[in-house]
Structure 1
Amino acid sequence: MLAVAATWSRLAAMEFDHVIIGGGSAGCVLAARLSEDPHVSVCLIEAGGGGDDIFIRAPALIPAMISGRPRINNYAFLTTPQPGLNGRRGFQPRGRALGGSSAINAMLYVRGHPRDYDEWADLGAEGWSWADVRPWFLQLEGNGRGGDDWHGGGGPVQISDQSAPRRISRAFVEACAEAQIPRNDDFNGPEQAGAGLFQVKQFRQGQRKGERCSAAAAYLFPALGRANLTVLTRTRAERVLIEAGRAAGVLVRRNGRRRKIAARGEVILSGGAFNSPQMLLLSGIGPEDELAAHGIAPVHVLPGVGQNLQDHLNYTILHRSRRRDVVGLNPRGLVRLGRAAGKWRKTGEGLFATPYAEAGAFVHSRPGLDRPDLQLHFVIGIEDDHMRRLHLADGYSCHVCALRPQSRGSVGLVSRNPADPPRIDPAFLSHPEDLATLMRGARIMERVLGAQALAPWRGGRLYPHDGSDAALAADIRARADSIYHPVGTCRMGRDEMAVVDPQLRVRGLQGLRVVDASVMPRVIGGNTGAPAMMIGERAAAMIAGAGGDGGAKAIP
């Protein structure tokens, strides 16, 4: 276990050049990169723990964290009741430890489609086109396949091919070919569309071989010996302190005691799509009606804070398996997993190194689209309701999500108490096109799962229905939920609803930025962990003055 928290009572100083709130996928990158300059002092504030326990390091223990039962390294947020999902409250796992959600996710390394970033630039995020962001992806990436025009070979994040994918995962790729989805061995290469095995953010050599390579493990832990870097874990930021139009510091609470941490340069929010807008609102920055509803005096009215929430809604088909070479929560399966744990400890390989979502595909739901609008994740076990509904049978699952939802939700407050969770309303299926796209994706997924290549494993289907469109729509409304890609609630741009400008500076204030997935104007077509780290890389260069305007002047 790494000791990462500074001793509260022994801090020599409570003033730093940069104060970062949130040690997640972007926050860890920022803290490590900014502290490379020995003349700059950096303080990273994280509400969760140290991010290096066995649940995080061992990939096969993902289910123990993702369910939130108990809450291990997981905020385990709930949404407001969703009318589009029969009034159900959705579940939103988010990482609560150094590394953030990169500490509890399936480790998949997916950048999205290049056109996604060109679209950001079209929407007012100048300097964030694919040509602009590509170098920063290459900088973070240490791909085991080596560097080329599409990949970096020397970056801190170890990107690896899976050491021992299950036979059923390879059969899934063959089943996709039967369904006219071509093979693709690199979702981050020249072409995104197709089916293949995911690359993962996982150590492939050294003492940590086979362990998760979270943002903390890749960036922050190697930097912990720097004298100019202070990391406070289990410390809750309560609000940003604004003085004369400038972020002067952060009020934090730890072990029941409050202290002010002052910022000579900038305060940087890196709490993610839920916690960053919540922090702005608690600090009096946001829509006037939201602040008034909770008795918070407005410090700076900014109507876009918490708006534009987007997420990938996910629908799952689950099957029992006739073969036992999958993961099952039964005595036989748990014995297999236990034996695999021993092998993993010795070699870093085998079943215990699995991301579970071993294979996937990017698919066009209909002809004429300029890029895939559906993503499939194939899981080597029965993953039902975020592992909150358990099944003893051996089995497998396939997920489909619509990559470019039209529905837009919001994040707000449930109270002015910083310890309370934010109010999260994704407004799933509030736009009718989202249901239509997801239904097209479900039909494609049914064809894949019915292919001959999967016949040796195919057992009974859980949650069967009569196959009609009405029954499918009803099943989606009854069971679909997030696949954990929320973005957009502090979006960058130039219009009045933008929260930050393209340099990620909060509009109308000095010394305050937001650096995380909340700044994305639109959700990218894929998993959001790698793009969040890219945002951290690019922002660090901006702040240091190496890759853009590093100033903190007020933005109109």
Structure 2
Amino acid sequence: RDMNSGSPLGMGWTQATINNGSRSSSATSYLATEFMSRPNLHVVIGAQVLSINSTRANEFKSAQFVQNGKIMSVTARKELILSAGSIGTPHILLHSGIGNSSALKSLGITPLHHLPSVGQNMTDHVALSLEFVVNSTATRDTAQRNATLAAQQLAEWNASHTGPLVDTVMSQIGWFRVPNASLAGFPDASAGPNTPHYEFLISNGYMAPRADNTNGMSIAMAVVSPHSRGSVTLNSSDPLASPLINPNLLGEQVDRIVAREAVRAALRFVAAPAWKGYIITPLGVNASSTDAEIDTYARNGAATVYHPSGTASMSPVGADWGVVDPDLKVKGLKGLRVIDLSVTVSRYMTPMRLSIDTKHCSRTSRPPILRQLRTSSGSGAQI
């Protein structure tokens, strides 16, 4: 069924708009010749931002970065826009002295602006998977074990955009809700009765190659409206050191219930008569597994879907929590805005929502920013 109908519950084919069969990325959007040659865009390659620095009291408009071992700085005429993502944005803010003052002091970082919510409220989708041995050799496992066959399939795709590589790894997806009785006593984190608690992603093959040379099918399950909250913090005053990322997957009981119900639903799905003769045996839990066994399986197999958000969350003006105001300006500061998915707060997060929110930030925040800058210095202000 149409996943964009406004009522996505049910099963359907994965829908995507992919230009010429190639996925877009930061590289295709910024590093292609037509972009690099623009006179009003300067892309610095192979560099990492170290910190955002204060230019005057409560104003942060200068960024320090390192490239090829050389430390350099840039200063904005009007504003800096930080778009380093839900991991990079809090990492940079904290190393800039913007965050929980006591935590920064303990690491030897001079606190410049007390904002305890920086790096907190991290939300991420949690996924687990079930795998099944199948009676078929027409799965992607065969090519994964055969380098010659894999090369032939890639050559066919490059030559004519045909063959097995036309399909995505997960061509069918489904969106489902947990029965109301299972969530009795818990708030519903979904956006409403027509929106899902969990997702199925069905793959014609194992998640990773197996040594037993069997062929398989996988069902990945994602909790798409998680209650659990994690954090991005520091373990070092070195801005080149990796941050501490704690997604706290399945940290809340309600998320564990949703994960368990998703596993049960997947096992019921593969028990349908249509699969008879195709599915040989499940790997891992099965229909007779207890709730405790499924919960243990989920805890041991839980993984991120790499959809982090919320670590620089938006809150109302004057609120004692959050990192940015509704205009995306960092609370209490001038010259600095955050425009990425770290500003989101909602518990209901799907990949589609993430995509829409990204477009929302880029499209709807730009006009008010331009208006404010032009008001401050007249029309035609340089940014």
Q: Does 1:321 align with 2:321?
A: no
SS in 2 for 1:252: strand
Q: 1:490 to 1:550 in 2, by over 3 A?
A: farther
Aligned counterpart in structure 1 of residue 229 of structure 2, from 392, 396, 408: 408
CA spacing shift, 1:459–1:285, aligned 2, 3 Å = same
Separation in 1, partners of 2:375, 2:250: 39
- Deviates most, 298-307 or 521-530: 521-530
2:13 aligns to what? Answer: 197
The Cα shift of 1:268 comes to 1.4
Q: Deviations over 1:473-528 (max 9, x none)?
A: 11111111212211100011112211011121111111111111111112443113
1:489 paired residue among 301, 308, 311: 311
- One-letter amino acid of the counterpart of residue 195, structure 1: M
Matches within 5 A, 1:57-206: 184=1, 186-203=2-19
- Structure 1 counterpart of 2:362, one-letter code: G
Unpaired stretches in structure 1, ≥5 consecutive residues: 1-183, 204-208
2:272 is the counterpart of 1:470? no
Given that residues 310 and 522 in structure 1 are in contact (C-alpha distance below 8 angstroms), is that contact kept between their aligned partners in structure 2? no
The structure 1 residue matched to 2:365, chosen from 511, 516, 539, is 539
Q: Is the 8 A contact 1:305 1:489 kept in 2?
A: yes
Please report how far the alpha carbon of residue 338 of structure 1 lies from its aligned counterpart in structure 2 after TM superposition: 2.0
CA contact (8 A) 2:324 2:331 kept: yes
Cα distance change on mapping 1:286 and 1:328 into 2, 3 Å: same
- Could you say which residue in structure 2 is the equivalent of 1:419? 240
Q: For residue 196 of structure 1, report the CA deviation from its aligned partner.
A: 0.6
Distance 2:282 2:104 in 1: 48
1:233 aligns with 2:49: no
| TM-score normalised to structure 2 length | 0.86
**Quick one: distance in 2 between partners of 1:506 and 1:449?**
49
Equivalent residues of 2:144, 2:150 under 8 A apart: no
Alignment match, 1:449: 270
Q: Which of residues 429, 432, 440 is equivalent to 2:250? A: 429
- Report the counterpart of residue 212 of structure 1 in structure 2: 23
* Aligned residue in 1 for 2:105: 292
Q: Secondary structure at the match of 2:79?
A: strand
Q: TM-score, normalised by structure 1?
A: 0.60
Unpaired runs of 5+ residues, structure 2, are 182-191, 377-383
Give the letter for the 1:237 counterpart. Answer: V
Residues 353 and 250 (structure 1 numbering): CA distance in 2 closer, same or farther, change over 3 Å? farther
Please give the alpha-carbon distance, in whole angstroms, between the structure 1 residues aligned to 2:330 and 2:63: 16
Which amino acid in 1 is paired with 2:196? P
On the 8 A contact 1:201/1:214 being kept in 2, the answer is: no
Aligned-partner Cα distance in 2 for 1:355–1:390 = 24
Secondary structure of the 2:109 match is coil
**Paired positions, count:** 358
Identity over aligned residues, as a percent?
A: 27
In the TM superposition, residue 240 of structure 1 has moved relative to its aligned partner by 0.5
What SS class does the counterpart of residue 231 from structure 1 fall into? coil
* Partner SS state of residue 424, structure 1: strand
Is the 2:285–2:293 Cα contact (8 Å) retained in structure 1? no
Question: Counterparts of 1:552 and 1:289 in 2: how far apart (Å)?
Answer: 38
Larger Rg: 2
Distance 1:323 1:381 in 2: 10
CA distance in 2, matches of 1:285, 1:477: 34
Task: Give the match's secondary structure for 2:225.
Answer: coil
Q: Once structures 1 and 2 are overlaid, which stretch shifts more, 248-257 or 342-351?
A: 342-351
Query: Which residue number corresponds to residue 174 of structure 2?
Result: 361
Give per-residue Cα distances to partners, 1:340-376, cap 9 Å, x unaligned: 2111111223322433121111111114962211111
Instruction: Give CA deviations for 1:266-322 in whole Å, capped at 9, x if unaligned.
Output: 211111111100100000001112211211111111111011111111121011222
RMSD of equivalent CA atoms: 2.4
Secondary structure of 1:260's match? strand
Look up the equivalent residue of 2:254 and give its one-letter code.
E
- The separation in 2 between residues aligned to 1:391 and 1:259, in whole angstroms, is 53
Shift of 1:381: 2.2
